[in-house]
Structure 1
C-alpha cells in the first residue's frame, strides 16, 4: 500500500513528538530533578497558574512537597536554598543573565537598567544611577527633608479626613508615588496625597495588566502582530514622566538631573524611560509593603508588636533613624513576610551549564528563586518562617545568617537599586505615625488582604485597607 505524502508527514511529526517526549521523560537532564511527572513534558500547568494569578502559591506548594529543588517545566527549575540563591543571583557579582520576561518592563520602547538582559550592559548602565541611590545620597538633608515633608502632609491629610475609618491603601500608595517622584523628578514631583495628582496613582495602582503582560511574554510574536492593529496611547502617568523630564530646572539631587548631565549623553526618552521604571517600582514596592505591614500591626495579634514599637519611639525621640533597632526589626520582618517582589526572578543558566544544589542544569535553562518560598521554607534559618516575629532580627548572630537569605530586594549586583530610599521612606513614616497613634482594623473593613499576584509584584486582593487611628495621648 502506497502512503500519501501527507500521511508520511503526519507520521513523521508524530514520531518526532514521541521521540521528544521519551527524551524528556527519560534522558533529558531535567528529568532527574524532583517535580510533578507532567512537568517533564510541558509547562502548560505553570502557564495556567500564571494567568490565574496563582503561580507563586503553586510553586510554593510544589516546594513543600518536593523540597528545595523543583522542576516547573521541561526547561524551568525553581530553588529555595541559600546556595542556589547565591549561585543564580550573585556568582560573578551579578549572577546569571535575565530572561526575556524582563522585556515586559521596557518603557517607551527603550531598555532601562531593570529591563537590560545581559549583565555586562546592566553593569555599564548601573554606574550612572547607583550614586543617586547610595545610602549616603539618600541620607542627604534635602532628600530626607523632602520625604519628611511628605510624611507630615500624609499625617495631616489623615487627621483631616473627617471619618474614623481611613483607607490606608490609597494614602500609602500616594505617599510612595510622591516620595519616588520627588527623588526622581524634583521639583516636578507629584502631590497626590493632597489630591492634585491622585488620578496618576489610581491609574497605575488600580490597573490590572497581569494577563496582558503574560500574553506579551508567553506569545510575543502573536501579541506584536495584534498590536499592529491597535492605536497606541501613552498613559497619563507615562506622559507625566516624559513632560517632567523635559523640564530644564531638574533639581540637583534628582535622578533626572544626574542622567541628563552624565557623560553618557542619554537621549531624552532614555532619561524618561529610566525614571518611569523607577517610579513604577517605587509605587509598587513601598506602597504595598507599608500597606501589608500596617495591616499586620493593626490586627489583634499584632497589637503587642505595635506596643513595643511605640515604647521604643517614645523613649528615643531624638535618636537617628538607624538607631531604632525595633523599628528596623519590624520593617525587616514585614518585608520578609510580605516581600514587595515575592515572585520568581527568572535567569538563564550560562553556557556549558552549571551545578546547582547538586544537580547539573543545562545552558539556557530558566532558573529562579521566589522570595515568598525562600523566606518561609528554610526553617534552619527562619524558625517558624510563616509567622510574623520581628524579635528574630534582634539577635545579631542570627541576623547575619538571615541576611544571607533575605531576598525581598533581590540579591547581588542586580538587586533593587532603590532599597535604601524605600527603607528611609518606611522608617520616616512609621516613626512619625506610631509616635502619635495606634492603628486598629476598622469594624467596616471587609476587604481581603490576601496577596494578589501581578507579573512580578503583588498587591492586596481587594485593594483596600481600612484602619482607625487612636491618638496615643488618649490611651
Structure 2
C-alpha cells in the first residue's frame, strides 16, 4: 500500500512521529548543551545504551575502552557523562560539595527506608550514618580479629585437605569472605568454608547485583515492574535485595540474639547503639545486616580474588612479597596468623593490597552524581546543572596522567614512594569518595 493511499489522519500522525524523532536526534546531536561532548552515537539518544553496556557483563572494561577512544569526558546517555579528568573527579567527589547522588539510586534504595548506599538526601544519610558508624569503626572491628583468625585457620585446614587436588581458589576465597562477614557480624561464620559449599547463595547475589546494575539506567522498567508485580509476578532479581536477603539477614539476627554472642560483634554494637538511640529501629538494623551479607561479602571476595590473581600472574611480585614476609617472620615480627597491626607494618604487603584494588576495584559501576546549580567546567566543556556526571574506578585507576605511563601494569612499588603515595591516594577510588565513602573504609587508608 502506498503512503499516499493511507487515511489522512494516519498520514498526519506518521509524519508527526517522523518529524518528532528527527527533531529529537538533531537536538541531541547538534543543539543540546552536551552535543559537543564525544561519545557513542546511540548513547546520545537513549539511556538504553548504558543499560545494554551493563547487561553485557563487562562494562568495567568497556568504560576503559570508551575513555581511551573518546577522551576524559564521554557522553554515555542524553544527559549523562563519564569523567576521568583528574580535576573534574576531585570537584565531583570532594567532601562537603553539592554533587548529590543521581536519581538512579532510587532503584538501589527501592522500598528500603534505611540504606546508606542508596539514600540520596545528604541530611538523612548523615543522620543514619551517625547511628551505625560505631559498629563499622576500625577500632571496633579490630576487637574481632580473633573471629577472623578462626575463619583463616578453618580455610587453611580445608586447603590442606585438598592439597593434591585442582581447586577454584577464587571460589574458596569467596566462601572465606562470606564466613568472615558472618563471624564479625553475628559472632559465628555461616559454615561455608567448613562445608565447601555456598548453597547457591553466591549466584543469587550475583544475579541481584547484575539486575540492579542495569535497572539503575532504566528506572522506568523497575517502577513499571513494581506496579505490575501483583499481576505478572516477580521477573527481576533485584527484588531479592529487600526480599530474600533481608529475610536471610533477619533470621541470622534472631539466631544471634537467641544464642548470644560477643557484644562487640557488629550486631552487638548496633544493639548497643539502639539502646542509646531509640530512632534506630529493628528493621534498620536488619537492613544494615542485609548490606553486610550482600555487599560486604561480595566486595571483600572480589578484592581478595583480584589481589591473588595479580600475584599469581606476576610471580616476581609474589617473590618480593614473600621475601618481605619471610624477613619479618625471621625477625619475630609476624605471628603464624598475621595480625592487622603486623600487616600494617609490612610496606610491600600494603603496596600489593593498594595496587591490587587499584587495578581490580570491587565496584565496577560509574558512581553517578548530579551537577549542582551553577554547573561546572571540565576542560573545554561547560556542563550545566542537572547533568549526571560520574566516575568508575576501573577507568580512573588507569589514567596515565595520575598513575604514570605504566598505569595498566601491576607495580606495587609505585606505592612505596611516600611523596607519590600521598598524591595517589587522592585518586584511589576503590571505596568511593567524599561524604559517601564506604562506611567500612579505615580512616588511615
Q: Equivalent residue for 1:435?
A: none
Q: Equivalent residue for 2:166?
A: 165
Q: Equivalent residue for 1:245?
A: 253
Q: SS of the counterpart of 2:382?
A: strand
Q: Does 1:80 align with 2:84?
A: yes
Q: Equivalent residue for 2:387?
A: 365
Q: SS of the counterpart of 1:32?
A: coil
Question: Matched residues in 2 for 1:162 and 1:381: separation?
Answer: 39
User: By how many angstroms is 1:161 displaced?
Assistant: 2.4
Q: Equivalent residue for 1:402?
A: 424
Question: Matched residues in 1 for 2:132 and 2:53: separation?
Answer: 35
Question: Matched residues in 2 for 1:205 and 1:59: separation?
Answer: 23
For the Cα contact (< 8 Å) 2:95–2:435, is it kept in 1? no
Question: Matched residues in 1 for 2:110 and 2:153: separation?
Answer: 32
Q: Deviations over 1:249-274 (max 9, x none)?
A: 46322332333343143332221111
User: By how many angstroms is 1:138 displaced?
Assistant: 2.4
What residue ranges of structure 1 are gaps of 5+ in the alignment?
A: 424-475
Q: Deviations over 1:282-324 (max 9, x none)?
A: 221111221122122223xx21211111111112132522110
When residues 344 and 380 of structure 1 are mapped into structure 2, their CA distance, relative to the original with a 3 A threshold, is closer
Q: Equivalent residue for 1:459?
A: none
Question: Matched residues in 2 for 1:230 and 1:120: separation?
Answer: 35
Q: Equivalent residue for 2:442?
A: 420
Q: Does 1:220 align with 2:232?
A: no
User: By how many angstroms is 1:130 displaced?
Assistant: 2.1
2:124 equivalent among 108, 121, 125: 121
Q: Equivalent residue for 2:198?
A: 198
Q: Equivalent residue for 2:348?
A: 326
Question: Matched residues in 2 for 1:137 and 1:104: separation?
Answer: 31
Of Structure 1 and Structure 2, which has the larger fraction of its residues in helix?
A: 2
**1:50-89 map, 5 Å:** 50-89=54-93
User: By how many angstroms is 1:339 displaced?
Assistant: 0.8
When residues 81 and 227 of structure 1 are mapped into structure 2, their CA distance, relative to the original with a 3 A threshold, is same
When residues 20 and 43 of structure 1 are mapped into structure 2, their CA distance, relative to the original with a 3 A threshold, is same
Q: Equivalent residue for 2:407?
A: 385
Q: Equivalent residue for 2:310?
A: 296
Q: Equivalent residue for 2:183?
A: 182
Q: Equivalent residue for 2:339?
A: none
Q: Does 1:42 align with 2:46?
A: yes
For the Cα contact (< 8 Å) 1:129–1:255, is it kept in 2? no
Question: Matched residues in 2 for 1:153 and 1:108: separation?
Answer: 38
Q: Does 1:97 align with 2:100?
A: yes
2:35 equivalent among 31, 34, 39: 31
1:313 equivalent among 325, 332, 348: 325
When residues 31 and 236 of structure 1 are mapped into structure 2, their CA distance, relative to the original with a 3 A threshold, is closer
Question: Matched residues in 1 for 2:196 and 2:159: separation?
Answer: 16
Q: Equivalent residue for 2:152?
A: 151
When residues 115 and 265 of structure 1 are mapped into structure 2, their CA distance, relative to the original with a 3 A threshold, is same
Q: Equivalent residue for 2:285?
A: 271
For the Cα contact (< 8 Å) 1:377–1:385, is it kept in 2? yes
What's the TM-score once normalised by structure 2's chain length? 0.84
For the Cα contact (< 8 Å) 2:114–2:128, is it kept in 1? no
Comparing 196-205 and 244-253, the one that deviates more: 196-205
Question: Matched residues in 2 for 1:16 and 1:238: separation?
Answer: 45
Aligned residues: 416
What's the TM-score once normalised by structure 1's chain length? 0.79
Comparing 20-29 and 105-114, the one that deviates more: 105-114
Comparing 165-174 and 17-26, the one that deviates more: 17-26
Q: Equivalent residue for 1:130?
A: 133
- Report the aligned-residue RMSD: 2.9
When residues 36 and 195 of structure 1 are mapped into structure 2, their CA distance, relative to the original with a 3 A threshold, is same
For the Cα contact (< 8 Å) 2:48–2:217, is it kept in 1? no
Question: Matched residues in 2 for 1:58 and 1:309: separation?
Answer: 32
Q: Equivalent residue for 1:256?
A: 267
User: By how many angstroms is 1:50 displaced?
Assistant: 2.1
